[in-house]
């Protein structure tokens, strides 16, 4: 199993600003994932964070809006840039420990 610490747990931000979410895992993992959960909706994969290479983004998500860092095998950050109210969501970090996926507790972001 893997224990994931994600912070902040929640934040209220002004539109046009950026927020960086951190994800720390208690063991080394190859792949880390970032998901978005819009209000009352399901989880949608934003990108896969690969250590030592660029993140791989899913359709509809771009690096300029959601830059990701992965400096080592236990840590990743997701930045939500130039925020608008439509970015108000829960953002979740996940790691794969095949064949399971473990999740952080999520960051509830509200953009005003």
Partner 1 sequence: AQTVTQSQPEMSVQEAETVTLSCTYDTSENNYYLFWYKQPPSRQMILVIRQEAYKQQNATENRFSVNFQKAAKSFSLKISDSQLGDTAMYFCAFMKWANSKLTFGKGITLSVRP
Residues within the interface to partner 1 (CB under 8 A): 31, 33, 35, 41-45, 48, 90, 92, 94, 96, 98-103, 105-106, 108
Q: Is residue 106 a contact partner of residue 89, using CB atoms and an 8 Å limit?
A: no
From the list 24, 79, 20, the residue with the least C-alpha distance to 47 is 79
Q: Which is nearer to partner 1, 13 or 43 (CB)?
A: 43
Q: Which is nearer to partner 1, 30 or 82 (CB)?
A: 30
Q: Is residue 14 a contact partner of residue 109, using CB atoms and an 8 Å limit?
A: no
Q: Which is nearer to partner 1, 14 or 39 (CB)?
A: 39
């Amino acid at each position: 199993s893997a224990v994931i610490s994600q912070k902040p747990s929640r934040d209220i931000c002004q539109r046009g600003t950026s927020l960086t979410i951190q994800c720390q895992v208690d063991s080394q993992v190859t792949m880390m994932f970032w998901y978005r959960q819009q209000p009352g909706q399901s989880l949608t994969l934003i990108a896969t964070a690969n250590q030592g290479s660029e993140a791989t983004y899913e359709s509809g998500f771009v690096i300029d809006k959601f830059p990701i860092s992965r400096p080592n095998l236990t840590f990743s950050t997701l930045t939500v840039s130039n925020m608008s109210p439509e970015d108000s969501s829960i953002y979740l970090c996940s790691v794969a420990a095949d064949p399971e996926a473990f999740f952080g507790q999520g960051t509830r972001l509200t953009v005003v």
